[in-house]
Structure 1
């Protein structure tokens, strides 16, 4: 019986906008999503998939030891290419001359020789490697040609790259670079034909090839073909769109040469393209370089583009930390064009907001209202000004800004945000129009993640009126269309209540919801690997065995974009990762919108890689000692450090639970730990022990309320105390949704969401003695009139001292 069939037989008997507020007052758009519940029966298609994957693994077992030894030898030699390391690799190659491992050893020797510019030796090693590596022929041929090019042996380059088709079946990550070498080496009577073949290779696969490799290859090929105008156009793409790359520097030199060669025929870059270079520096937070770029463009440009360059020079100054200087600079600018002036006024508003000059901020918004009513810069300014007053709890000030935002502009993510802020206030006050606004939020903005939030709270309103059939229709819709959002988990909890359990979904509400265009989330049809996926996995494994894990990751990432099944390739690269942190990062980046996947549609291993549980013994022990739910602790760590034990944030927070040294020392003394050193916070056992104690202390301060505890952990207890005074919260979800900082709100939701999935994945493997049930997160309280403390101000993030510091450089990912 075939391997896959036997395994299948045995298995068959078993049973995922800048306009949102952050602690640091900076922001980015994000979806809020939730985990699904585990269904304990695997779909039948998984038996075949598991069989195939296990079969592949079993066939590879015999070679594991040898390939592992080779990878270690290559790693050592690549890092420190000594004669001793070379001798060890040569001995290994001789001992494995009859199998692929010997060829892989020669590949590694060739790459290091090429990097050392020992081109003759490199060519010899590659010649020995190629016969044994038919599945990596493109890598061997490319690096052999690169060594020949380095030796200026153009004939050898042409020989090594005589058939560029091998770089397209399957499409190779080095295809663009191979085309570049082929074009540069093309000589003789058929030079134009060879160059044309290189151009065709890149153009046929342009959308899949990495940038700026593809554009640089085309530029060089067109230059070699004698088409300098086309060459200039592609060099310009490289220079303006990828300023931080070495190709951009080479493109700059090439463009200077072409400018002289072509003279008046030189094709000038388009103004928007020229502005893009500065914009790219802004996006990379290289504000000094951005400012220099925009200032250099001012005398070169005219019209609105000149104004944009002037404004963005000021924006770079503001973003670089000089709000006062940027304000003075922007204030002096006078523009005749609407687009430039609207952008200038927006940044004046931002500078004023940053400096706390509310009068100036409002004046800038008034100017936008008066002169640029339809400009997207006005919408951005309205949202930013509204947010300013939102964090200060001044509804009479922020409501006009939000209302103007959604009443003046067509539905999009920004207007959905504005509408939601007005809707949420009406809901919390139980205004008579609250239900109508909730329905309007759902109907006008079904594409927005807040549609799930509106559905949940519409259901809660209907429950208060004993309209259980309508409420059930709302909860069912969340579960169906937003299966892993935070509010889907809460909706499923509501459905377990007695009054809801027996309710039949209201037909009218069900029909109305069915008529709306909610987002259609991709369902990953994870099944038997395709031939393309198998090929990518085999190539990646060979590269790992050869000691090139960086190449293997590039191969897998390339495959996810070109021809492979992203989820299976994600699992492959995750399993090959050197750490849990790296594995989790790779899974999250390659698995797409995994939070939209029904739990039962993926194997348990898929979820375990996305929600890992390393250092399980220490985590369980520290959680047990602190009487904490270990799954909540794991969920918190996933958000804080992604299980990177060596994590060190810009705020000087250490390790898995991100503890600052002063708190670590205090906790260590409390725990009787002698001679505590800060670097011990990088020790998982120590960090878990102290982190659990700290979480327990916060939880006790909040009388076992996890929502307030997590918000304090993220934003500081003093803030949470302030937020608690803003309203009468009838249930924990109302408090969570009222948190004005998006980072903190999403953090709380994500930890609770992740904990739910951790329970589903691991509960059956954790002894009952190690599990602590979390406090209930939903209570039903009779509605009361809202009381609100107006004008309560909160401290800026930089002034709040707390035990755990948030990482300002990135927002917690899903």
Structure 2
């Protein structure tokens, strides 16, 4: 028996294992795993530091009225009337009493009462206030000491601040340097200016410090050419190409060997980015065969050749680079440029082959996501659905946080359906809906599932337990938390931002701090800045349950103003007002005065020539371009124009594409793609910017509908400017208030292969050259918002 067991064991075990595996549950499909998001706290108060409405009433803020009124007088330079307000006894004994003392000291300083200001600031410093106010009080004390000609005292304060990581800034060091100069200590001044020059090279203070160091060279200690080389590298990395070129040229004479080659390479690259193609080519030629970074040099050399329109040589050089340096990230860049080149010359099949090669060689590379999309989409269009599935599913696994992921999953699901595989098709669509339910692709997936599977919405979402990670410590107690809440309650927004930024530097990043800052930006009229920050802070808004986030959070992500006029003019022309609101959010972020580089103006970004033509149709007499900044007129003309486009082309998606890319192009694209489905038409638009534009507006329109039609959202009041009185600056300088202007809406396109000329904007021909590569290999190249299209 023992012998029989020994002989048969190798045969029996595989059989037993096979039987066990046959009846075992199937292995989990990695494609079905939802994105793991942090579980959110249960209350709004834990999501941010914004005080509830009950703490922002007139009654609750009565004790702080003198502070708010005093700040209004202070910023109007009416110091004699501000002074007694800051000195109100009830105010100085309140939780914001230290802020009253601070502004009392600043007022005394402005009035020339230097001794009084010094006593006020010294008293405040001794009280040891928390947060940013401690820094501001010290700066005020130093400024008062300087005004009193006590430079030694000012220097002691600045040196203490310079040793505090949370307080250190180029401003503190510059003040230290100037105080040292005033005291006659040129060596100390040179040391401080040197720190500004090397440690804060991207600031305006660094430029001023460099000029000062020219006259202090006898007193400055040299940091060696390596420090200058490092500074030049920082400037280059920040895309300050003219400054970096000058810095590299200045340090070149001190370099040799590899450092000399690096310097020459960066000078030539700066020339390239400054569009000096021939100079770049000539500067790179000596580095092609001998330098350590010759793969990088060859990439920029072939790029310069491309810009000089020697296309045959460009193709040859790109292929040679890939062959000689097959694993170099610059070979990936060369393939990306080559694939783009073939798109621009109308050879889409060859372009797809190149992008397929790129994805195969560099499956996790900086350009791999784009390559997978370009190659996989071509395979879908040519009905190679099996290859489409392979590429898109691999892309979704390789880049689980990519903006391309919803495209990958959605079109993989559509490809499974084309092949008759209902199970995988439904699984992919459920995953798209779970992770991106409140986006363009999530809603496409929802409609697909409803039509094919007949499922209810609550049956579409994958189990929540599978897609959450432990909740982080979202709101660790901050020492200045009460101060922040009180400042916000009284609309002292810039003071609150100072405190929030100080908390970030002292305690590290926090979703609650970021969300609060996003809310402040929105309240100040910087809607786009608030949108972007809140989206990054709580990306859960995109998921299937995103609409359940607190309404107040969603109002920052989807702001709405001028609603009455939007609704009225939309209904006049039979348009969906929520679609129009989404279009305005994309075009202008509700800034009626914004003007684009193409001369498009106002809420719906209308160029004067188009406005004049529409005004005639609308019966508006004596039209002038300035009228386009009037929200009523802009909306009247813009909705008229969009309604015409919708009627002309017979579909909202066509009208949106035309609004962005031009009517003639839509006529041509429709003719080239007759009868294809709407989702296929949109993703086959040749201009990535227009793809993104259409998908974002279609997706966002539903967000606006859910929030403001059914979710209790409240449109913002129309403001003539920022909501708050001008508080203290968000810098280390306590004296000059910060003036903020609303940030204009900026459409950040994906790395475009062709560039559209928007219909309502000044026409511009599509570029025939791909944009120069400015990112280094390894940098993120994900397209802004292309994936989810929310």
Report the alpha carbon displacement of residue 362 of structure 1 after superposing the two structures with TM: 1.4
Matched residue of 2:575: which SS? Answer: coil
Report the alpha carbon displacement of residue 373 of structure 1 after superposing the two structures with TM: 3.0
Deviations 1:593-649 (A, max 9, x none): 433344255211110122111111001111111211111111111121122222111
For the Cα contact (< 8 Å) 1:386–1:399, is it kept in 2?
yes
The answer on 1:182 being equivalent to 2:160 is yes
**Structure 1 range deviating more: 603-612 or 394-403:** 394-403
- Map 1:626-637 onto structure 2 (within 5 A): 626-637=573-584
1:802 matched to which residue of 2? 759
- Map 1:709-728 onto structure 2 (within 5 A): 709-724=655-670, 727=673
- Map 1:471-510 onto structure 2 (within 5 A): 471-499=425-453, 501=455
2:695 matched to which residue of 1? 749
1:77 matched to which residue of 2? 74
For the Cα contact (< 8 Å) 1:524–1:567, is it kept in 2?
no
Q: Normalising by structure 2, what TM-score?
A: 0.73
1:166 matched to which residue of 2? none
1:275 matched to which residue of 2? 232
1:250 matched to which residue of 2? 209
Deviations 1:10-56 (A, max 9, x none): xxxxxxxxxxxxxxxxxxxxxxxxxx9xxxxx999338769997667
Deviations 1:674-723 (A, max 9, x none): 1222122122222222111122122222212x222222222223334444
- Map 1:502-581 onto structure 2 (within 5 A): 530-532=476-478, 535-536=480-481, 538-539=483-484, 541-542=486-487, 549-560=493-504, 562-563=506-507, 566-570=510-514, 572-573=516-517, 576-577=520-521, 581=525
Q: 2:562 aligns with which of 615, 620, 638?
A: 615
2:82 matched to which residue of 1? 89
Report the alpha carbon displacement of residue 343 of structure 1 after superposing the two structures with TM: 2.8
- CA 133–548 in structure 1, closer or farther in 2 if over 3 Å, else same: farther
CA distance in 2, matches of 1:428, 1:302: 54
**Structure 1 range deviating more: 682-691 or 579-588:** 579-588
CA distance in 1, matches of 2:624, 2:482: 44
- CA 121–52 in structure 1, closer or farther in 2 if over 3 Å, else same: closer
CA distance in 2, matches of 1:666, 1:406: 48
Q: 2:331 aligns with which of 378, 383, 403?
A: 378
For the Cα contact (< 8 Å) 1:426–1:434, is it kept in 2?
yes
2:370 matched to which residue of 1? 417
- CA 670–495 in structure 1, closer or farther in 2 if over 3 Å, else same: same
**Structure 1 range deviating more: 655-664 or 441-450:** 441-450
CA distance in 2, matches of 1:589, 1:277: 25
The answer on 1:139 being equivalent to 2:136 is yes
- CA 414–757 in structure 1, closer or farther in 2 if over 3 Å, else same: same
- Map 1:326-475 onto structure 2 (within 5 A): 326=279, 329-330=282-283, 332-431=285-384, 432-475=386-429
CA distance in 2, matches of 1:47, 1:600: 14
RMSD: 4.8
For the Cα contact (< 8 Å) 1:402–1:418, is it kept in 2?
yes
CA distance in 2, matches of 1:676, 1:522: 58
Matched residue of 2:622: which SS? Answer: coil
Matched residue of 1:62: which SS? Answer: coil
Report the alpha carbon displacement of residue 61 of structure 1 after superposing the two structures with TM: 3.3
**Structure 1 range deviating more: 209-218 or 657-666:** 209-218
Q: 1:317 aligns with which of 247, 271, 290?
A: 271
Q: 2:619 aligns with which of 672, 681, 687?
A: 672
For the Cα contact (< 8 Å) 2:606–2:638, is it kept in 1?
yes
The answer on 1:586 being equivalent to 2:530 is yes
- Map 1:720-799 onto structure 2 (within 5 A): 720-724=666-670, 727=673, 730-764=676-710, 797=755
Report the alpha carbon displacement of residue 239 of structure 1 after superposing the two structures with TM: 2.4
Deviations 1:443-479 (A, max 9, x none): 4444533232221112112223443222111122223
For the Cα contact (< 8 Å) 2:193–2:209, is it kept in 1?
no
**Structure 1 range deviating more: 739-748 or 69-78:** 69-78
Deviations 1:361-403 (A, max 9, x none): 2133134234433332221122122123224442233134323
For the Cα contact (< 8 Å) 1:537–1:556, is it kept in 2?
no
Report the alpha carbon displacement of residue 439 of structure 1 after superposing the two structures with TM: 3.2
Matched residue of 2:760: which SS? Answer: coil
CA distance in 1, matches of 2:674, 2:694: 19
**Structure 1 range deviating more: 683-692 or 577-586:** 577-586
CA distance in 2, matches of 1:328, 1:749: 40
- CA 257–611 in structure 1, closer or farther in 2 if over 3 Å, else same: same
1:191 matched to which residue of 2? none
Matched residue of 1:648: which SS? Answer: coil
- CA 57–604 in structure 1, closer or farther in 2 if over 3 Å, else same: same
- CA 233–45 in structure 1, closer or farther in 2 if over 3 Å, else same: same
Matched residue of 1:470: which SS? Answer: helix
Unaligned runs of 5+ in 1: 1-35, 37-41, 162-177, 184-197, 768-793
For the Cα contact (< 8 Å) 1:570–1:591, is it kept in 2?
no
CA distance in 2, matches of 1:415, 1:635: 31
Deviations 1:260-289 (A, max 9, x none): 6657xx544257514314405x624xx433
For the Cα contact (< 8 Å) 2:581–2:701, is it kept in 1?
yes
For the Cα contact (< 8 Å) 1:294–1:312, is it kept in 2?
yes
Matched residue of 1:531: which SS? Answer: coil
Deviations 1:47-86 (A, max 9, x none): 87699976674376336467567546534533x53xxx11
For the Cα contact (< 8 Å) 1:521–1:596, is it kept in 2?
no
1:14 matched to which residue of 2? none
CA distance in 1, matches of 2:524, 2:574: 26
For the Cα contact (< 8 Å) 2:70–2:83, is it kept in 1?
no
**Structure 1 range deviating more: 372-381 or 693-702:** 372-381
- CA 73–436 in structure 1, closer or farther in 2 if over 3 Å, else same: same
CA distance in 2, matches of 1:503, 1:471: 17
For the Cα contact (< 8 Å) 1:463–1:471, is it kept in 2?
yes
For the Cα contact (< 8 Å) 1:479–1:488, is it kept in 2?
yes
The answer on 1:296 being equivalent to 2:241 is no
CA distance in 2, matches of 1:112, 1:498: 70
For the Cα contact (< 8 Å) 2:55–2:489, is it kept in 1?
no
CA distance in 2, matches of 1:52, 1:349: 52
CA distance in 1, matches of 2:48, 2:330: 55
- CA 483–525 in structure 1, closer or farther in 2 if over 3 Å, else same: farther
Deviations 1:139-177 (A, max 9, x none): 32442134225545367559xx8xxxxxxxxxxxxxxxx
1:171 matched to which residue of 2? none
Report the alpha carbon displacement of residue 590 of structure 1 after superposing the two structures with TM: 5.0
Q: 2:644 aligns with which of 687, 697, 711?
A: 697
Deviations 1:533-553 (A, max 9, x none): 8x34623643895x9643432
CA distance in 1, matches of 2:139, 2:606: 48
Across the two proteins, how many residue pairs are aligned to each other?
681
The answer on 1:148 being equivalent to 2:150 is no
For the Cα contact (< 8 Å) 1:713–1:804, is it kept in 2?
no
Matched residue of 1:539: which SS? Answer: helix
For the Cα contact (< 8 Å) 2:213–2:220, is it kept in 1?
no
Matched residue of 1:306: which SS? Answer: helix
Q: Normalising by structure 1, what TM-score?
A: 0.71
